[in-house]
Structure 1
Amino acid sequence: MELKTHAMPLLLSSEMIEEFSQLSTTLISDAMAGTGVMDYKIKSIKPGVKLAGTAFTVDTKEGSALAVIAAVALAQQGHILVISGKGEASNAVIGDMLVKTALKSGISGIVVDGLVRDVSVLRDMDMPLFAIGAVPSAAKKNGHGELNSPIVCGGISVKPGDLIVGDDDGVVVVPSHAMYDVLLAAKAKLASEEQRIQDIDNGLLVPEWLKKLL
């Protein structure tokens, strides 16, 4: 049994988190030209949930929950656990007891490229939780794992300290070095969409760019 740990990622500013929490994942995706979007199968276990925070990465090995248990113990308030479950389909890597502990620790959310269990209980908890699905069987607590190393989750590279945003459409990853540019682009996209909605309300049903093509 082996567990490797690396330096704790610095938390992103609360101002930056708040700015992104006001934006949809669709706007953020558009701002990044469609990059950074996790596999469509990773969805919130209940509708209407919003997720935004700093990535604390978890690499699981051999279907083991060891690294997840350690991450819940070590992550700080404001971190989001991003778990590379590698699409493991035989068991759940997290359940109600671990999620309850994470909630008490102040962890802001959990994203799992794998399965969870105890869904009926988890849906009553105030913890944003995104996963591929659910299964009754529990994970092993042996094996290997690694904390706060670069991982792949839902087909997307995630580094510790990256910005994670999730809503009903899915999860997007914003590299920490690109946050400001993405924020500006997403806000510009939002302004453009708001103008287009106003135009539609005013009866301008064909946008100018389309008129030029017709």
Structure 2
Amino acid sequence: MRTVIVTDVPRPPRPALEALATVGVATVHEAQGRTGYLGPDLVARVPGAHVAGSVVTAVCWPGDNLMIHAAVEQCADGDVLVVTTTSPCRDGLFGELLATSLRRRGVRGAVLTTGVRDVAALRAMPFPVWSAAVSAQGTVKATAGAVNVPVAVGATLIHPGDALVADDDGVVVVPRAAAETVVIKAREREATEDATRAALDAGELGLDRYRLRPLLERLGVTYERY
């Protein structure tokens, strides 16, 4: 890994980010072909939060949050900080003080594959955070890492400047070049879901709405009276 801080990363168009902020993670995930989801390990530590922003990445060493402090300087209004480590770590790399600094710069939230601490304070602020763990274990500031380099979270490769959406369902990343297209597809999906919701509320069964009866028949499912 190169120990580097990359500056002046291009961001997605602001209207696309504002539109994504009104769309749920599940809808965005479906709209881009069920890709970009960062997995169930990342849990919302501030329930009810829903954010969208441009990604700034930080790569730290386990138990060391030096590069998070370096990343704060590269963050701007509308960003979301994504933090990973060079090997698995659940220590509390992030807490109230870093959140205070990020909020002052207009950052929408943070996503960490590590632990976070000061959860009660984060909720009171509130500053939205998604993390793999909660841990009171503190950190040092001793080892160089990287800021604004591509990172992998699970099976998803994230580039600085990608769009990110996060809510109670988790976190999904949208490639920067695809953000506007995904907004259009997400709106189309919302319209379809609105029509389906109305039909189900009126009493139509999912078996009929989704035309599932022929599938059951092809699979050999039969009906028998009790």
| TM-score in terms of structure 2 length | 0.87
CA spacing shift, 1:154–1:115, aligned 2, 3 Å: farther
**Secondary structure in structure 2 of the residue aligned to 1:144:** coil
Cα distance, 1:38 vs structure 2: 0.6
Q: Which moved more, 1:5-14 or 1:70-79?
A: 5-14
Please say which of residues 16-25 and 175-184 is displaced more in the overlay: 175-184
What do residues 19-50 of structure 1 show as CA deviations (whole Å, max 9, x unaligned)? 11111111111112221101211011021000
Question: Matches of residues 165-180 of structure 1 in structure 2 within 5 Å?
Answer: 165-180=165-180
Equivalent runs, 1:87-98 vs 2, <5 Å:
87-89=88-90, 91-98=91-98
Q: For residue 40 of structure 1, what is the amino acid of its counterpart?
A: P
Partner amino acid, structure 1, of 2:16: M
Aligned length: 212
Instruction: Judge which range, 31-40 or 5-14, deviates more.
Output: 5-14
Query: 1:150 and 1:105 mapped to 2: Cα distance?
Result: 22
Q: Using the TM superposition, give the Cα deviation of residue 110 of structure 1 relative to its aligned residue in structure 2, in angstroms.
A: 0.6
| SS of aligned partner of 2:124 | coil
Quote the Cα distance in structure 2 between the aligned partners of 1:126 and 1:154. 27
Whole-Å Cα distance in 1 between the matches of residues 21 and 192 of structure 2? 19
> Residue 210 of structure 1 aligns with which residue?
212
Inter-partner Cα distance in structure 1 for 2:102 and 2:154? 22
Residue type at the aligned position of 2:97:
M
SS at match of 1:83: strand
| Displacement after TM superposition at 1:210 (Å) | 2.0
In structure 1, the partner of 2:80 is: 80
The correspondence of residues 19-98 of structure 1 with structure 2, limited to 5 A, is 19-85=19-85, 86-89=87-90, 91-98=91-98
Of 105-114 and 6-15, deviating more is 6-15
> Any gaps of 5 or more consecutive residues in structure 2?
218-226
> Secondary structure of the residue that 1:68 maps to in structure 2?
helix
Task: Provide Cα deviations, 1:96-130, integer angstroms capped at 9, x if missing partner.
Answer: 11111111121121111110111111111122111
Gaps of 5+ in 1: none
The structural deviation recorded for 1:178 is 1.5
Contact 2:11 2:176 in 1 (8 A): no
Q: Which of structures 1 and 2 has the bigger CA Rg?
A: 2
The percentage of aligned residue pairs carrying the same residue is 27
How far off is 1:147 after superposition?
Answer: 0.6
State the distance in 2 between where 1:72 and 1:195 align. 43
Distance in 2 between the 1:93 and 1:44 partners? 16
